[in-house]
């Protein structure tokens, strides 16, 4: 499996560590930068490139996932989510790492380099990479609703139980 990494200055140490660790585990790691410390670098530059590579390779049928890293992981997740077809999840625990794949079929995760120990963040990434998607019907349905909105701008239909209950009942 190929793993694409991108970060900002706050994620540089974790990215270097993950490059070594994941290579040691047999992953094909692609580093999208940055490659030197610059306190003024902009995470979208690197995180969008990593997410684009994942989207492109998955569209070609290749086994590819991504990890984006920053101080909190929030901005990095947002940047990755701007790439069409990418679902990026902010991971802060073993459980969120597992569920990002199992329930959401996330292709990219974001972790906060200033939020956790190196050991914890490494474990989160390893859990994410090892987990598969459950293919549970309810998760497939929800992902399809998001994909339809992303590609066509068509919101999911309201369930009958919500029709007529307030502002959400804005039939087109």
Enzyme catalytic residues: 76, 103
Long-range contacts of 155-158 (CB under 8 A, 24+ apart): none
Asked whether the beta carbons of 43 and 18 are under 8 A apart, the reply is: no
Q: How many CA atoms lie within 13 A of 66 on its CB side?
A: 36
């Amino acid at each position: 499996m190929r793993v694409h990494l991108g970060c900002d200055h706050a994620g540089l140490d974790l990215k270097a560590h993950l490059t070594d660790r994941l290579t040691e585990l047999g992953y094909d790691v692609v580093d999208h930068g940055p490659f030197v410390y610059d306190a003024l670098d902009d995470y979208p530059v690197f995180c969008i490139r990593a997410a684009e590579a994942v989207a492109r390779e998955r569209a070609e049928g290749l086994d590819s996932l991504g990890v984006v890293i920053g101080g909190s992981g929030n901005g990095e997740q947002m940047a990755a989510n701007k790439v069409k077809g990418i679902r990026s999840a902010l991971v802060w625990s073993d459980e969120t790492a597992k569920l990002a794949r199992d329930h959401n079929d996330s292709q990219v995760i974001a972790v906060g380099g200033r939020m956790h120990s190196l050991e914890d963040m490494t474990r989160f990434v390893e859990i994410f990479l090892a987990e598969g998607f459950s293919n549970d019907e309810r998760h497939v349905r929800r992902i399809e609703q998001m994909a339809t909105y992303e590609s066509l701008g068509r919101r999911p239909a309201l369930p009958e139980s919500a029709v007529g209950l307030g502002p959400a009942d804005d039939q087109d």
